[in-house]
């Protein structure tokens, strides 16, 4: 849904890096490994969060009750 603000395993803040990652690795052509290295996301627990996240926020927002 929305990227966890912190890594559930180690607690490092990840929420501020998601937009950069998405722009460069998912929408862009860059290698996800290099983007994560560049953003300072080094531990595998945090990398898992980035690589397995499915961004559904926009889809779910359509059904928001008003
Ligand atoms: Zn972590």
pTM of structure: 0.80
Strand-pair partners of 13: 6
The pLDDT value recorded for residue 34 is: 94
What spacing in Å lies between the alpha carbon of 3 and ligand 1's midpoint? 13
Catalogue all structural domains in the chain, each as residue range(s) with its CATH number.
Answer: 1-66 (1.10.10.60)
Query: How many angstroms separate the Cα of 55 from the Cα of each of 3, 29, 51, 66?
Result: 7, 18, 11, 22
What spacing in Å lies between the alpha carbon of 54 and ligand 1's midpoint? 17
pLDDT, tens digit (0-9, with 9 covering 90-100), for 13-52: 999 999 999 999 988 889 999 999 999 999 999 999 999 9
pLDDT band at 5 (very low <50, low <70, confident <90, very high): very high
Strand-pair partners of 6: 13
What spacing in Å lies between the alpha carbon of 66 and ligand 1's midpoint? 35
């Amino acid at each position: 849904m929305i990227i966890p603000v912190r890594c559930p395993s180690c607690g490092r803040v990840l929420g501020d890096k998601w937009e950069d990652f998405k722009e460069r690795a998912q929408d862009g052509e860059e290698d996800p490994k290099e983007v994560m290295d560049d953003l300072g996301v080094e531990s595998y627990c945090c990398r898992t969060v980035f690589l397995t996240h499915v961004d559904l926020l926009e889809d779910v927002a359509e059904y928001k009750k008003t």
